[in-house]
Amino acid sequence: MISSTRSAPPSINVRMIDDQHAVLIEKIERLEQAMAVGDDAAALSQLIRDLDDYARYHLPMEERIMKSCAYPLRDMHALEHEKCLRRLLEVERMVTEGHPAAAVEMLSRLRAWLDSHLLEWDAKLGKFLNSRGVA
Ligand SMILES: [Fe+2]
Ligand SMILES: [Fe+2]
């Protein structure tokens, strides 16, 4: 039996971004569960593509918001986003090369990246947007 999903992501008090974070976490958890039950590489690759598509939608969206409001930390924040896409590529490589244990390890690193990114970088951005009247 697979353990239940973790709690909802921390809110950064900006509705649209919070909603996207919930989708991102859901897609990561779907992949975690598929790996845990030993789904085959084709099925995992499909879930990875789906997660990658969503990350490539969410991260640039945040970057556009940061640019449009001249957020002072936007370059550093965008560099952090690149780490997410790199980690996801590593997960994909481990799956396609047939290293399931390493893929699980890479995915847990990606999950750790996301958890800390939300608490640190996105929370900071949320505070800034709130101060500009965006919620
Ligand atoms: Fe985000
Ligand atoms: Fe972010």
Q: What is the pLDDT along the chain (135 residues), one digit of tens a residue?
A: 444 456 678 899 999 999 999 999 999 999 999 999 999 999 999 999 999 999 999 999 999 999 999 999 999 999 999 999 999 999 999 999 999 999 999 999 999 999 999 999 999 999 999 999 988
Residue 35 pLDDT: 97
Give the per-residue pLDDT at 134.
Answer: 86
* Residues by chain with Cβ below 5 Å of ion ligand 1: 122
What's the 59 CA to ligand 1 centre distance in angstroms? Answer: 6
Q: What is the CATH number of the domain that holds 103?
A: 1.20.120.50
Residue 25 inside a domain? The answer is yes
**Residue type at position 11:** S
Q: Does a structural domain hold residue 106?
A: yes
Task: Give the Å distance between the CA of 30 and the centre of ligand 2.
Answer: 21
Number of structural domains in the chain? 1
Residue 40 alpha carbon to ligand 1 centre in Å: 29
Q: Is the residue at 5 inside a domain?
A: no
38: alpha, beta or left, given left = phi > 0 and alpha = psi -120 to 50?
Answer: left
pLDDT of residue 2: 46
Residue 92 domain flag:
yes
Residue-level pLDDT at 6: 60
Residue 8: its pLDDT value, please? 75
Residue 51 burial (10 A CB sphere; 0-12, 13-18, 19+): buried
Give the range of the structural domain holding residue 44, as residue numbers without chain letter: 15-131
Within-domain flag for 70: yes
Q: Are 27 and 50 in contact (CB under 8 A)?
A: yes
Rounded Cα distance between 109 and 22, Å, is 18
